[in-house]
Structure 1
Amino acid sequence: WTRDFMSIFDFGRTNYNSSRIGVLDNTGHFTSSDGLNIIASDSGLGINRRLTIDQDGNLKLYSLNKVEKSWIVTWEAMPQLCDIHGLCGTNSICEYSPDPRCSCLPGYEMADQENWIKGCQPMFRTNYSQVAEQVMFVEMRQVKFYGFVMGFNTSISLEDCEKLCSEKHSCLAFSYGIGEGSCYTEIQLFSGKKTPSTTMIHSTYVKLPKTANISDVKQYDLICKPNSVYEMHQDDKRWFYYYTSIAIFGGLELFFITTACLFLRSKQNIPKSVIDGYELMTEHFKKFSYRELKAATGNFREELGRGGSGVVYRGVLDKKRVVAVKRLANATEAEEEFQAEISIIGRINHVNLVRTWGFCSEGKDKLLVYDYVENESLDKHLFESIGEKRLLRWSQRFTIALGTARGLAYLHHECLEWVVHCDVKPENILLTQDFEVKIADFGLAKLSKRDFSCLQLSHMRGTVGYMAPEWALNLPINTKVDVFSYGIVLLEIVMGARISSQTSAEGEKLDLAQIVEALKQVVACGDVTRIVDAKLHGQFNHLQAMEMVKISLSCIGERTKRPTMDEITKALMACGDEDKYADCTE
């Protein structure tokens, strides 16, 4: 929880989701990449454990007591219940007397007598006249509410702080720090907590109409057990048995698969590559036979597209799931190397990446099975639009630019393996019916661990018009080649045309250097209207278009000065707040 008036950056939080890696070992020791290190109170081998975020938001480590067949808490992030924000709902406070207890504020009562998390509701009309003569403030010593501060002042008197709150209709209370003269006006009363007088010198003054009855302060004990914040009701028990049954059957299936793997390992004459195939079955990834995929695609009848890495066909698995099956070209890796790389691709999962469901590797036949994305690729909508039905609106273009940046940022910065796409282009940016981005063909270049700064590829990858100069200069390849390609794609999203097909007024083909100079002039004059896709008829967000052009220029500039995809994503997200992606001119 943030503290009052600390920005999300001061507190180390942003609205951009950055993954963290955590490991819980078999001794009860948990460690994570963001520095959280915990040890179970019963640390040691031979104990089943689970790390769970409970429904109250508290992170707890449980150990299984096999004798009593129950889970015991052996560590928790917040051992004091009142430290859990929102535990008692709105308009209430949590205090110890000595056990944890929820109390409604003066003038309030429980909203639901059976569910105190819903908080408390006023026992008076909320639309009362709030002139100073008709309101009063009730002091609650050593009480503090967290968050939802509408204003903050220092070194002012209690009377001035009260006046500030009484003059604002939306102010429900104010907190005053004795001695320091700090005044916090509250727009919502949430996560209230009463602390011992030795640790806090704040009082909260609740604003009420003078007609309110404050003689009865409602108090309720928290319904808690040693290992759980909630009692288990009958409906909860029914779901408990339901999920327990599922877990048992899943465990049996995993047991049989593991037994098969161990059996195969004991056979010295069985290749390791075959064993790996069985081990992949334990993940959300399947090894298909060539016969299965041949049947699913109708003998590879319906072609969806083709490129340098292979041909893609439409297929149907189990008579219901539509998939895309890619028949790889020039897949020359040894069997074990191929399966090692493909298992890494199978573990990559992001909303803006096409999900890989499985593979086939039988001799020279190597195939990948992907999700089928129904709305074709970006190039069809940008360069082949024939009518209004297919024309991409500005808001859709911006969403596509941001989704593509997010997908590449995940590959570059958040995967367990360092993945360079090497062939970012509109043809590899697929679109769903809602025009959400799904990047295809990632991971087909060589994969490298994060602790390497570059890739060494045996041959050039990519598409002319989108390839970074370092390919031709035989320089080491790293994520900057994807940044360059993304810059070209971003310009094409703005312009609605191929950059490689741009010509001068005299009809001469322009090279990239000439295009860059023209774009710099556009940025300098501050008007992007003349380069934005004319098919939009001026319906675009000027601020977003200008930012996209600036980002493009930085992407296709000098290699060492190119931004990261993470930085690009944040820049677009900041720009995306403008007018909620409005399709408008400035």
Structure 2
Amino acid sequence: MGSNAYWFAIWFTNSKDKTVVWTADRDTPVNNRGSRVSIRRDGTMVLTDVDGRIKWQTNTTNTDVAAAELLNTGNLVLKNRRGNILWQSFDIPTDTLLPSQLLTKDKKLISSLRKGSLESGYFNLYFGSDNVLSLISDSPQISSIYWPSPYSDIYASGRTNYNGSRFAVLDDKGMLFSSDHYQANASDMGSGIKRRLTIDPDGNLRIYSLTNSTGLWMITWQAISQPCQVHGACGSNGLCVYTPKPKCICTPGYAANDPRDWDAGCKPIFNLTLVNSEVKFLELSQFDYFGSDLYYKPNFTLEACRELCRSDSGCKGFTYRTFGNGHCYAKSDLFNGFASPDFPGSVYIKLPRSLQVSKPSIFHDSSTMCESPEAEILLGSPSIYNIARKTVRWGYIYSFCLALGAIELLFFVLGWWFLFTKHGVPASVEAGYRMISNQFRRFNYAELKKATKNFREELGRGGSGAVYKGVLADDRVVAVKRLGDVVQGEDEFWAEMRTIGKINHINLVRMWGFCSEGRHRLLVYEYVDNMSLDRHLFNPNFLGWKQRFAVALGTAKGLAYLHHECLEWVIHCDVKPENILLDGEFQPKIADFGLAKLSRRDSPGSEISRIRGTKGYMAPEWALNQPITAKVDVYGYGVVILEMVKGIKFSNWVVDDADNHKIPLKSLDRTVKEKSEGGNSSWVESIVDSRLEGNYSRKQAATLIQLGLSCVEEDQSKRPTMLLWSKLSWNVKMKQIKFQIECNCLIFYFSRLCKYY
């Protein structure tokens, strides 16, 4: 758009970039000279261009309209003389939903075409015909829903379609709620913060919170943790990959139509008419293309699928899934291509035999490691290239501004030193300084050495290093973890710390800061009063049943946040009782998340092996060299809750039958299946911790055992997700336990009655 293009819009005055939240007609701007907004005698508010043509108007024809008013909520309203609202901008949203603004069945949010633009894009948030709040890619090439996940039914996503009202709202505290039972929270939940819910040009739905001091927006929740799950992000014949940040590339054998605009997709560099004898197939492991299926063949061999596609001129490739029996999906188009460590299969691209192509690199340099690829770039946005050009063009000006900034910073530091060291600090100023300094920050080594009294009081020691108790200068009690061998250099370590520092959840240990000086790498955490779960589970001072139950549910919520709601994609890799801490009220807080990338865990004397994890809690896929996904955490979690039920460590279990030599978990699973038939609950007493002396709920115990066994299935595709765990609600009435999940299973035995895939 030219500089003369103007819009009638509403924006945040305190935001640095004057963030627009509503426009009257986003696709047809007006001339800045002579265009005007007015209220006519018939009650309509109109936007006219310089030539007098009406470009936009309200649907009001009430002669009682007295005034237009912009409310503090961001709602533009037309009122009559009695103050009643006759029309409001909240009823016709663009790409943003403000707190208290309702999104109903006849409304939708439509993304902007690209970053910095106001014109309509291709991604929509709306209520579909199934009454479910959904994100859809509605491009000229194809239309498909990508959130909730199309790979599982709505109940597995924690939704319900028994919902006639169809509404969604973001409240003043940062909670997003919709009538299909979906609920999400901003990481900084609380009143007094300006927020917005926006569908961005990259197709992701995010909650933003405004930082008043800087005028900048901070992402505090997003719907999709892995950006490559957004359909249409890379256009036709494009692939979305993590390297480690998400980016678009072309399918091997194809070239970009416009490298600055991935909506344009890619075109083949070969003749599409191929003779059977000239065809070859390039395998891309852990890639898939959603939709565009010519046909689907279950229980099919790989070779049969290959021949089927080879003989069909309309087939451009096929996907072959390897879970259970083979599944063959022939593709008429290569659209919505993405790389995923969770995908159990490969895609085979149909190419001329003479064409030499290479496979793309995915998931950073080691796809089997538990890593947290950042998701900050808006895929397909040409603004990335514009920024690069501007950086070169304005390099000298930036250098000059940097020099001025350094001089200004020097004066600030000198003034601060003079004020605070020479004349004392007023109580109010000191309180404000403490409030600022208490946030995530970088510590120096001498500061932490003093706080821990030269690392005198050791709290514990694990595979990633020793933990010491310390007291900071502001009297905060902290736990300081001293890391062993660290892979990253200074810059990489700082980048990882910024990622982990953003993570905030009631069931995760809060990180206050870090230290990186020379060979010293230290992490500063909040101090958790009651230490780790293992000290209260396998020792004489054991937890009661009610506390164990609360720990099971709280731990599930923390892991669900890491896997599905966290701003970065995080797999813990080492879920065990030693990494679950208990606060003063015995509520669980997960520790050591995000450390899989930082430490070398194959050092001599470490019980953690080269394949990352602790023996007894490691999922089978580590040893089988299968793709590592969030399901490794689900496995470890299953072992933990079974240990909480039994009250002893997994390695100490002995099964009292003729098959003692067999794996305890398999024997336990067989025992439960045999003894639970016919509704007999007497088997529960033989498993539950005898120290509880019968003081526990039989129904809760039976359900936890069955849930735990579901989590430790050898086949990772049969394990539930932590998102399902976090949606569980427990209702106790007259000692009757109803275990209810938001997928309309009234009484839920985790792996027996409900199917997830």
Q: TM-score, normalised by structure 1?
A: 0.51
In the other structure, the counterpart of 1:98 is: 82
In the other structure, the counterpart of 1:519 is: 672
Separation (CA, whole Å) in 2 of partners of 1:26 and 1:99: 33
In structure 2, the CA distance between the partners of 1:519 and 1:365, relative to structure 1 (3 Å rule), is: farther
Separation (CA, whole Å) in 1 of partners of 2:466 and 2:697: 38
Separation (CA, whole Å) in 2 of partners of 1:262 and 1:371: 36
Separation (CA, whole Å) in 1 of partners of 2:480 and 2:530: 16
In the other structure, the counterpart of 1:577 is: 731
SS at match of 2:686: coil
| One-letter amino acid of the counterpart of residue 514, structure 1 | S
In structure 2, the CA distance between the partners of 1:328 and 1:549, relative to structure 1 (3 Å rule), is: same
In the other structure, the counterpart of 1:559 is: 716
Separation (CA, whole Å) in 2 of partners of 1:283 and 1:300: 21
In structure 2, the CA distance between the partners of 1:582 and 1:540, relative to structure 1 (3 Å rule), is: farther
The answer to whether structure 1 residue 361 and structure 2 residue 516 are counterparts is yes
The answer to whether structure 1 residue 426 and structure 2 residue 577 are counterparts is yes
Separation (CA, whole Å) in 2 of partners of 1:567 and 1:339: 33
The answer to whether structure 1 residue 28 and structure 2 residue 19 are counterparts is yes
Separation (CA, whole Å) in 2 of partners of 1:266 and 1:319: 29
- Over residues 521-574 of structure 1, what are the superposed CA-to-partner deviations in whole Å (9 max), with x where a residue is unaligned? 344354222211111111111222122112111111121111110112223x2x
Structure 2 alignment gaps of length 5 or more = 1-14, 31-68, 86-210, 216-398, 408-435, 599-607, 738-757
Report % sequence identity. Answer: 49
- Over residues 206-226 of structure 1, what are the superposed CA-to-partner deviations in whole Å (9 max), with x where a residue is unaligned? xxxxxxxxxxxxxxxxxxxxx
Shift of 1:446: 3.3
In the other structure, the counterpart of 1:275 is: none
Separation (CA, whole Å) in 1 of partners of 2:709 and 2:594: 26
- Over residues 84-126 of structure 1, what are the superposed CA-to-partner deviations in whole Å (9 max), with x where a residue is unaligned? xxxxxxxxxxxx883259xxxxxxxxxxxxxxxxxxxxxxxxx
**Are 1:412 and 1:420, in contact at CA under 8 Å, matched by a contact in 2?**
yes
The answer to whether structure 1 residue 440 and structure 2 residue 591 are counterparts is yes
In structure 2, the CA distance between the partners of 1:29 and 1:459, relative to structure 1 (3 Å rule), is: farther
Separation (CA, whole Å) in 2 of partners of 1:339 and 1:539: 49
Matches within 5 A, 1:13-412: 26-30=17-21, 38-39=22-23, 73=71, 76=74, 79=77, 98-100=82-84, 262=402, 284-318=439-473, 320-384=475-539, 386=540, 390-412=541-563
Structure 1 alignment gaps of length 5 or more = 1-23, 31-37, 45-70, 82-95, 102-246, 253-258, 268-280, 448-456
Shift of 1:28: 2.7
Larger Rg: 1
The answer to whether structure 1 residue 540 and structure 2 residue 693 are counterparts is no
| One-letter amino acid of the counterpart of residue 82, structure 2 | P
Separation (CA, whole Å) in 2 of partners of 1:416 and 1:300: 33
- Over residues 13-35 of structure 1, what are the superposed CA-to-partner deviations in whole Å (9 max), with x where a residue is unaligned? xxxxxxxxxxx8824334xxxxx
- Over residues 429-458 of structure 1, what are the superposed CA-to-partner deviations in whole Å (9 max), with x where a residue is unaligned? 1001211111100011239xxxxxxxxx99
Residue 568 of structure 2 is aligned with which of 417, 437, 454?
417
**Are 2:16 and 2:214, in contact at CA under 8 Å, matched by a contact in 1?**
no
SS at match of 2:685: coil
| One-letter amino acid of the counterpart of residue 518, structure 1 | T
| One-letter amino acid of the counterpart of residue 613, structure 2 | G
- Over residues 241-289 of structure 1, what are the superposed CA-to-partner deviations in whole Å (9 max), with x where a residue is unaligned? xxxxxx99x679xxxxxx9x9559979xxxxxxxxxxxxx999311000
Shift of 1:325: 0.2
Shift of 1:505: 3.0
SS at match of 1:383: coil
| One-letter amino acid of the counterpart of residue 561, structure 2 | Y
In structure 2, the CA distance between the partners of 1:538 and 1:330, relative to structure 1 (3 Å rule), is: same
In the other structure, the counterpart of 1:55 is: none
In structure 2, the CA distance between the partners of 1:526 and 1:332, relative to structure 1 (3 Å rule), is: same
SS at match of 1:369: strand
Separation (CA, whole Å) in 2 of partners of 1:370 and 1:514: 40
Shift of 1:77: 5.2
| One-letter amino acid of the counterpart of residue 376, structure 1 | M
**Are 1:376 and 1:431, in contact at CA under 8 Å, matched by a contact in 2?**
yes
Separation (CA, whole Å) in 2 of partners of 1:295 and 1:40: 60
**Are 1:523 and 1:550, in contact at CA under 8 Å, matched by a contact in 2?**
no
Shift of 1:579: 3.8
**Are 1:28 and 1:40, in contact at CA under 8 Å, matched by a contact in 2?**
no
Separation (CA, whole Å) in 2 of partners of 1:481 and 1:460: 12
- Over residues 271-318 of structure 1, what are the superposed CA-to-partner deviations in whole Å (9 max), with x where a residue is unaligned? xxxxxxxxxx99931100011111111111110001111110001001
SS at match of 1:544: helix
Separation (CA, whole Å) in 2 of partners of 1:519 and 1:427: 27
Aligned length: 334
**Are 1:41 and 1:75, in contact at CA under 8 Å, matched by a contact in 2?**
no
| One-letter amino acid of the counterpart of residue 719, structure 2 | R
Separation (CA, whole Å) in 1 of partners of 2:581 and 2:625: 30
Q: TM-score, normalised by structure 2?
A: 0.40
SS at match of 2:17: coil
**Are 1:503 and 1:510, in contact at CA under 8 Å, matched by a contact in 2?**
no
Separation (CA, whole Å) in 2 of partners of 1:353 and 1:458: 25
In structure 2, the CA distance between the partners of 1:579 and 1:376, relative to structure 1 (3 Å rule), is: farther
In the other structure, the counterpart of 2:103 is: none
SS at match of 1:304: strand
**Are 1:40 and 1:75, in contact at CA under 8 Å, matched by a contact in 2?**
no
Separation (CA, whole Å) in 2 of partners of 1:41 and 1:477: 47
SS at match of 1:292: helix
- Over residues 111-166 of structure 1, what are the superposed CA-to-partner deviations in whole Å (9 max), with x where a residue is unaligned? xxxxxxxxxxxxxxxxxxxxxxxxxxxxxxxxxxxxxxxxxxxxxxxxxxxxxxxx
SS at match of 1:294: helix
In structure 2, the CA distance between the partners of 1:76 and 1:581, relative to structure 1 (3 Å rule), is: farther
- Over residues 360-404 of structure 1, what are the superposed CA-to-partner deviations in whole Å (9 max), with x where a residue is unaligned? 0112110000000010111111101x2xxx331111111100000
Shift of 1:345: 0.4
In structure 2, the CA distance between the partners of 1:404 and 1:287, relative to structure 1 (3 Å rule), is: same
Which structure dedicates a bigger proportion of its chain to strand? Answer: 2
In structure 2, the CA distance between the partners of 1:80 and 1:284, relative to structure 1 (3 Å rule), is: farther
In structure 2, the CA distance between the partners of 1:510 and 1:296, relative to structure 1 (3 Å rule), is: farther
**Are 2:509 and 2:526, in contact at CA under 8 Å, matched by a contact in 1?**
yes
Which structure dedicates a bigger proportion of its chain to helix? Answer: 1
Separation (CA, whole Å) in 2 of partners of 1:360 and 1:264: 29
In structure 2, the CA distance between the partners of 1:334 and 1:582, relative to structure 1 (3 Å rule), is: farther
**Are 1:313 and 1:324, in contact at CA under 8 Å, matched by a contact in 2?**
yes
Separation (CA, whole Å) in 2 of partners of 1:580 and 1:26: 56
Shift of 1:492: 0.9
The answer to whether structure 1 residue 491 and structure 2 residue 646 are counterparts is no
SS at match of 1:323: strand
Residue 462 of structure 1 is aligned with which of 595, 605, 613?
613
**Cα RMSD for the two superposed structures:** 3.9
In the other structure, the counterpart of 1:530 is: 686
**Are 1:540 and 1:582, in contact at CA under 8 Å, matched by a contact in 2?**
no
Shift of 1:342: 1.1
